[in-house]
Amino acid sequence: MKRALLVAGTLAIAAGLQAAPTENPYHWYHEAVCSTSLADQPGLFEKSLADHPKHFASKHGMAVVYYRKNDLAKAIELFEAELADGKALGIVHYDLACCYALKGDKALAVDHLRKAVRHGFSDWRLLREDGDLDSIRDDPHVAKLMKRATARRAQSKAAATEPAAASTAGEPKPKKSRSRKPKKAAAEEPPAAAPAAPEPPAAASAPGPVESKAAAPAPAAPAPATPSAEDFDPTADPAPPAPAAPAPAAAPAPAAPAK
């Protein structure tokens, strides 16, 4: 029970702290929740209910204060009044089950615990560990409620982890293609050779390597032979003179045109 109340109070505080105290219409409620004095909390909740008579969180906070003060009769009266609002019925019935279990009324405690699970209460760890329910924990009905709450918690987790599967459950599946693969030929022929590309027109012969702009040096004349001693023999006949080169024939003069 304490865990459920802590969650509700924390959410309310977080919502109210966003505004300044002078501008916050639920200032007294937040003062009551933040207060650690059981003596001051009832008066603060009364101020909040005076400003907002239908504020459910203030009503529930007032009932919790009397539960903590161990005034179970007053707490049960306030919790029973909350049922008429129809809000958070799972938590309100659970709190009533705790109060009746502490008071020793096991039948009413089990009845309100059953109603709490029916209205969505699924905190199986709190059901298993809350000391307020020790007097009815061995009741066979409580064991069944534990199993039901555990199964509901598992279903909630499964639905939260598989949102995509649930969203695509009703979509039609794509039809399979009816196209068939072509049958293989008995004897596969080699692919036909591609036609030869037309030969390009004969291009002019490529010029040879480009010569250097500097003229090639002329070949050197053979060096004259060095005369030996035999070439100066006085008894030897003188060598005949070399024949003269024939003079070139003169070109005939052109004939005069006839008159």
Asked if 35 contacts 29 with a C-beta cutoff of 8 angstroms, the reply is no
Q: How confident is the model at residue 127 (pLDDT cuts 50, 70, 90)?
A: confident
- In tens, the pLDDT along 146-182 reads 887 777 777 777 888 776 555 545 554 544 445 555 5
Q: How many domains does the chain have?
A: 2
**Same domain (yes/no): 10, 74:** yes
The answer as to whether 253 is a domain residue is no
Q: Domain span at residue 141? A: 106-161
pLDDT at 55 over 60: yes
Question: How far is residue 99's CA from residue 73's CA, in Å, rounded to a whole number?
Answer: 9
Q: How confident is the model at residue 23 (pLDDT cuts 50, 70, 90)?
A: low
**Same domain (yes/no): 49, 120:** no
**Same domain (yes/no): 81, 2:** yes
The answer as to whether 245 is a domain residue is no
- Other residues' Cβ atoms within 10 Å of the Cβ of residue 166: 10
> Could you give the C-alpha distances from 194 to 187, 188, 190, 199, 215, in angstroms and in order?
21, 18, 12, 15, 53
**Same domain (yes/no): 45, 123:** no
Mean pLDDT of 194-206: 53
The answer as to whether 116 is a domain residue is yes
- Cβ neighbors of 61 (< 8 A, separation 6 or more) are 9, 29, 32, 33, 41, 45
The answer as to whether 155 is a domain residue is yes
The answer as to whether 237 is a domain residue is no
Question: How far is residue 2's CA from residue 7's CA, in Å, rounded to a whole number?
Answer: 9
**Same domain (yes/no): 6, 79:** yes
pTM of the model: 0.53
The answer as to whether 58 is a domain residue is yes
The answer as to whether 96 is a domain residue is no
